[in-house]
Chain A
C-alpha cells in the first residue's frame, strides 16, 4: 500500500464520523443538548464549527435545539442537531413544524434502550416507529440508518442532501453501537457523493410562493435576509405560506408533504445485499444488527442453509420493491431488531402473507450474537 493511500485511512468513531460528514456536506450551524450516547457529535461541532465560519450553540433543552436549527435553516444555514431517545421525544413537536413548513434540517438520533430514561449507555433500535409517527398529524419523514463508520459519513451527507432537495427534516438513525464504535475508514475518492441544495427562488419578488405544492417540483426556499420576504408558519397554509382553512388547500397541503416523500420510496431506497442471489431464507436487518446478521448468513451457509441478507440503509420512506422481487425465491424471512418488532411490521405489510415473516426481538440492552440469529433461523426452519 502506498504512503499516499495511507493518508486516506483513519480510525474514527461513528458519532465523530457523523459530525465529519456534516461538516463535509456544508453544515454550518449546530444546536444541541447533551445526551448519552450522542454527545460526541455536539462536542465535535463545538470544536470545529467556529474554526470554519460556522456557529455552535448549546440550547436549554432538545425542544429548543430543534427549534434553533429550524430557525437557522430558514435564515440560510445548513443545520443539524444530535440527540437520543428522550431528547428525540422532546423534538417531535418541532419536527412536525419542519415537516409542514418544509424546512430542511438534520436530526441525528443515536438510539438507546428505552422507554423513558431506559438504558442510556446501551443500544436499541426502538425509535424506528417514533421516527415515522412520533409527531402528531399526517406527515412523512426520511430516515437513514448506517451500519458502518464510513456509512456514518456517507449517510450524514445523504441526510443533508435529501433534506435540502426535498425541503424536509431528515433523521439519521444510529444505534449506540454504531455511534460509539471505532473502526478504520478509508476516506472515499473524489466524486463519491453528491450534495443537493434547496435552490434559489426566482427573480419575481412579489409572487414568491415558498409553500407551493403543485406538480413534481419542490419549491426553492429563500432565506430570511435574502431578496424575498416570506412567512413561515406551523399552521396549515396556502402556497404563499399564509394560514388557510379552505378544505381544498388544506387537503392539497397534507397530501403534498406526504406524497413528495412517500411517492419516491423506491427512488430513495438504499440497500446492501449479501448472498441474496440464490438465497431462500432472507435476513432483513439494519444498523448494527445487520453486521451480526451478516455473520449469521455465513454460519447458516456453513450448515447448508441458503441464507442471504437484505440490509436497508433507507428506513423511511419504506420501500418494499426489493422484498417483492426476492419474495418468489424465499421460504422465509427473519427480521432481527433490537426492539419488540417495529420495522418488521412494514416487512409483513409488504409481503402480505405470501412468505412467512418471523420476528426476532432483543430488548435487554445487548447486541444480538450471530449464534442467536442462526439458532433462531434453524429452529424456525425445523418447526
Chain B
C-alpha cells in the first residue's frame, strides 16, 4: 500500500486537485494507476515522457499524470503524438484514448498510426460507450446493446479494436481488461518497451452510462462480466465460435519486430547525406545553397 501511495505521489501532478473527473466505479482509474506503476517500475524520467490524449473521459488522463502532457482535440491524439515523437524521438510517447476517440472520430489516424509503426504506445480504453456525453452508442457498443442514441438496442455491429489494429499492421497488439490488473501492468510494460507502434486495448466499464442502460446492477456487476466473459488466447483456441459468442479474448495477439519509422527515416537521411555518388550530391549542393541563405538569416536572428 505504501508503495502505491509513493507511486501516486511521484507520478500524479502535485498541484492538480483530486478527485478525478471520473465517476465512482469507473475503470479509467485502474488504467491510470497501472500506467503509473509501469512508468515507475521502468524508471522512465518524468521529463522524458509525453502523455497525449484526445477528448472524452479517457482524454482527461494526461491532466493527472505528471509527465509532459498534451490534451488535444477529439480523435487526434495519435496525429499530435506523431509530431511529438518525430520532433523528439527520445521521448517515450504514450497516448490514451477511449473507444469513440480512437475508433470513430480518430479511426483514420488510428489505422494509419498502426501502419506507420512509429514508436508510440496507444492505450485504447474500451468501455463500449460515449461516457462523457452521456451514453451514446460507440463503434464498440455490441450489437443489440443500448445507448441513449440506441434506445431500442444498437442496430450497428461493433469493431473488434484489436483485430482492427492487427489488420492495419500494428507491430504489437494486446488486450486485457480492468479486472485483470496484473495482466494489464504486464502488457503495458511490454507495449512501452516494444520498439514500434503498440496497441493495448483495455476493456473497461462505464457503469454510469453503459451499465445503467444495459441492466448492470452495479460497477461490481460489470467487473464480474469482465471476469466471466473473457477468455485467454489459449482457452479461446480450444473453443468453438459458438462458445466464443459474446466473449472477448485476452492476450498478446501480435508481437512482431518491424523496422520503426524514425529508425528507417534517419538511416535513409544518413545514407543520403553520406552518399557522394548518387542524386544525393546534387541535392546536397542545392541544400547548401539554401543553407547559406539560412546562415545569412541566422547571423542576424
The answer to whether A191 and B112 have CB atoms under 8 Å apart is: no
Q: With an 8 A cutoff between CB atoms, is A60 at the interface?
A: yes
Q: Is B109 an interface residue (CB 8 A)?
A: yes
Chain B hits for A187, CB < 8 A:
293
In the bound complex, do residue B265 and residue A76 qualify as a contact, i.e. CB atoms below 8 Å apart?
no
Q: Which of A63-71, A263-271, A348-356 contacts B (4 or more CB under 8 A)?
A: A63-71
State whether A48 touches B79 (Cβ < 8 A).
no
Asked whether B276 is an interface residue with its Cβ less than 8 Å from the other chain, the reply is: no
The interface-forming segment of A22-30, A123-131, A335-343 is A22-30
User: What would be 5 A-B contacts, judged by CB atoms less than 8 Å apart?
Assistant: A52-B287, A67-B73, A196-B301, A225-B88, A229-B68
Interface check A9, CB cutoff 8 A: no
- Other than the given A60-B108, A74-B70, A232-B70, 8 more pairs (CB < 8 A) read A24-B293, A48-B283, A60-B112, A63-B109, A68-B80, A75-B91, A190-B299, A195-B297
Q: In the bound complex, what is the Cα–Cα distance between A365 and B269 (angstroms)?
A: 41
Is A242 within 8 A of B16, CB to CB? Answer: yes
How distant is the Cα of A93 from the Cα of B83 in the complex, in angstroms?
17
Please measure, in the bound complex, the distance between the C-alpha atom of A60 and the C-alpha atom of B301, giving whole angstroms.
35
Cα separation A231 to B71 with both chains bound (whole Å)? 8
Asked whether, in the complex, the Cβ of A26 is within 8 Å of the Cβ of B294, the reply is: yes
7 closest residue pairs by CB, A with B: A71-B83, A67-B79, A68-B83, A75-B87, A72-B83, A64-B79, A72-B87
Chain A interface residues (CB < 8 Å from chain B)? 20, 23-26, 29, 31, 47-48, 50-53, 55, 57, 59-61, 63-65, 67-77, 79, 93-94, 97, 153, 157, 187-197, 223-227, 229-235, 240, 242-243
Interface-side segment among B23-31, B59-67, B123-131, B222-230:
B59-67
Q: How long is the Cα–Cα vector from A190 to B296 in the complex, in angstroms?
A: 5
Q: Is B50 among interface residues, defined by CB-CB distance under 8 A?
A: yes
When chains A and B are docked, how far (Å) is the Cα of A229 from the Cα of B52? 13
A-facing mask of B265-293, CB < 8 A → 1, else 0?
A: 10011001100000010011011001101
The residues of A that contact B91 with a CB separation of less than 8 Å are: 75, 224-225
Interface of B: prevailing SS: helix
Which of chain B's residues has its CB closest to A228's CB? Answer: B47
Contacts of A77 in B (CB 8 A): 83, 87
Asked if B4 is at the interface of the complex by the 8 Å CB criterion, the answer is no
Per-residue A-contact encoding for B40-51, CB less than 8 Å = 1, 0 else: 000000111010
A70 to B84, CA, bound (A): 8
Least Cβ distance of A348 to chain B in Å? 35
Which residue of chain B has its CB nearest to the CB of A56?
Answer: B265
